[in-house]
Amino acid sequence: MPAFSLNAYVALSAVLFALGGIGVLVRRSPLAMLMSIELMLNSANLLFVAFGRAHGGYEGQIMAFLVITVAAAEVAIGLALTVLLFRRREHADVDEVTDLKL
Amino acid sequence: MNLVFILAGLMAIAGVVGVILARQPVHQVIATVFSFIGLAALYLSLQNEFLAVIQLIVYGGAVMILFLFVIALLSARKDPVEKDVGKLTPPTIAGFAVGGALLVMLGIVGLFGAEGNRGWTAVPEQFGQVGEFGHELLTTYVFPFEVIAFVLMVAVIGVMILVGRHRA
């Protein structure tokens, strides 16, 4: 039986999610943004695992497992796009990537 | 148990703060690994041994090595991508303000939202270990498992198409 209440895990996950959101908003290098997104996904995972443990079933764990797998795929695609970005231009600041703007 | 939760939670939070504040990409990777180790300890405190190990291998190992490869290949030159890390430009202040509001809101909801509604359920000793988890994954949840295999294959093919073309 975990020592802290479920609320402690929910609050910790919320803090991690918000801090990751600050990372996405504040940093402008694509690598830093990808890392922050990973941390946000991880905080959601912590919530899945905590609620799964609270219910005593396996749904939360399975979902967290699927999220980990999708996040790995997302990182592969995201880093491939970052490589293309660095190849095509000198500066890889996301503010200067405006190719899709009309 | 109390100490494990507090230490691991502080590790996870310190890692995220490090990602926000660090200048060098390599330092950010180290901070992220730090955070992942804290989260793995939290999974252990929730009796999820299998997920804790997966967290360390997949996130702390594979994903972060991928980041390190990209950093070593591309951004290990003299000039950093961001010129003004740590300076408070107007967009940065706006980002901190929006994120801080989100932090306060989610923190309040997390601390007081589900108060007393549900506690922990008693589970058997082998809950969350590889045998039980694998049995559930390959019987009840075998269709999502197959779909996720397909997603991984699509991702690999996508990366090949995106990056591998220039070799010709």
Question: pLDDT class for B111, splitting at 50, 70, 90?
Answer: confident
Residues on chain B touching A68 (C-beta within 8 angstroms):
51, 54-55, 58-59
Residue A18, in any domain of the structure: yes
Nearest to A62 by CA among B39, B128, B32: B128
CATH assignment at residue B51: 1.20.120.1200
Q: Which domain holds residue A14?
A: 6-92
Last residue of a domain, one of B62, B78, B94: B78
Contact B58 A68 (CB under 8 A): yes
Last residue of a domain, one of B78, B93, B113: B78
Residue A64, in any domain of the structure: yes
Tens of pLDDT along A52-91? 888 888 888 999 999 999 999 999 999 998 888 887 776 6
Q: Under a CB-based contact definition with an 8 Å cutoff, are residues A20 and B31 in contact? A: no
pLDDT recorded at residue B149: 93
Residue B83, in any domain of the structure: no
Residue B112, in any domain of the structure: no
Residue A50, in any domain of the structure: yes
Residue B115, in any domain of the structure: no
Contact A68 B55 (CB under 8 A): yes
| Partner-chain residue, chosen from B121, B128, B133, that has the shortest CB–CB distance to A54 | B121
Residue B36, in any domain of the structure: yes
Instruction: Write out residues 64-93 of B within 8 Å (CB-CB) of A.
Output: 66-67, 70-71, 73-75, 80-82, 85, 92
Q: What's the token pair of residue B41?
A: 């300890």
Do B130 and B70 lie in one domain? The reply is no
CA A74 – CA A84 distance, rounded (Å): 15
For the cut 70, the answer to whether the pLDDT of residue B85 exceeds it is no
Residue A99, in any domain of the structure: no
Residue B54, in any domain of the structure: yes
Mean pLDDT of A88-99: 73
* Residue B21 or residue B126, greater confidence: B21
Distance from the A70 Cα atom to the nearest Cα atom in chain B, whole angstroms: 7
Please tell me the least confidently modeled range out of A16-30, B18-32, B88-102.
Answer: B88-102
Residue A21, in any domain of the structure: yes
Question: pLDDT class for A29, splitting at 50, 70, 90?
Answer: confident
Tens of pLDDT along B40-78? 999 998 888 899 999 999 988 899 999 998 888 876 665
Q: Under a CB-based contact definition with an 8 Å cutoff, are residues A34 and B64 in contact? A: no
Average pLDDT, chain B: 84
pLDDT recorded at residue A28: 83
Phi-psi region of B51 (alpha: psi -120 to 50; beta: other; left: phi over 0): alpha
CA A3 – CA B52 distance, rounded (Å): 18
Comparing alpha-carbon positions, the chain B residue that sits nearest to A54 is B120
Residue B96, in any domain of the structure: no
CATH assignment at residue A32: 1.10.287.3510
Q: What's the token pair of residue B90?
A: 């107007």
Phi first, then psi: what are they for B49, rounded to 5°? -60, -45
pLDDT recorded at residue A37: 94
Residue B110, in any domain of the structure: no
Name the pTM for this structure.
0.88
Residues on chain B touching A69 (C-beta within 8 angstroms):
148, 151-152
Chain A interface, mutation test: which of B3, B71, B73, B82, most A Cβ atoms within 10 Å?
A: B82
Number of domains in chain A: 1
Q: Under a CB-based contact definition with an 8 Å cutoff, are residues B26 and A31 in contact? A: no
CA dihedral B126→A49→B134→A59, nearest 10 degrees, is 110
CA B89 – CA B76 distance, rounded (Å): 25
Do B74 and B135 lie in one domain? The reply is no
Residue B85, in any domain of the structure: no
HEC readout, chain B: CHHHHHHHHHHHHHHHHHHHHCCCHHHHHHHHHHHHHHHHHHHHHCCCHHHHHHHHHHHHHHHHHHHHHHHHHHHCCCCCCCCCCCCCCHHHHHHHHHHHHHHHHHHHHHHHCCCCCCCCCCCCCCCCCHHHHHHHHHHCCHHHHHHHHHHHHHHHHHHHHHHHHHHC
Last residue of a domain, one of B20, B50, B78: B78
Q: Which domain holds residue B37?
A: 1-78
CB-based contact (8 Å) between A80 and chain B? yes
| Partner-chain residue, chosen from B71, B107, B132, that has the shortest CB–CB distance to A15 | B107
CB-based contact (8 Å) between B156 and chain A? yes
Positive or negative CA dihedral for B110, B111, B117, B118?
A: positive
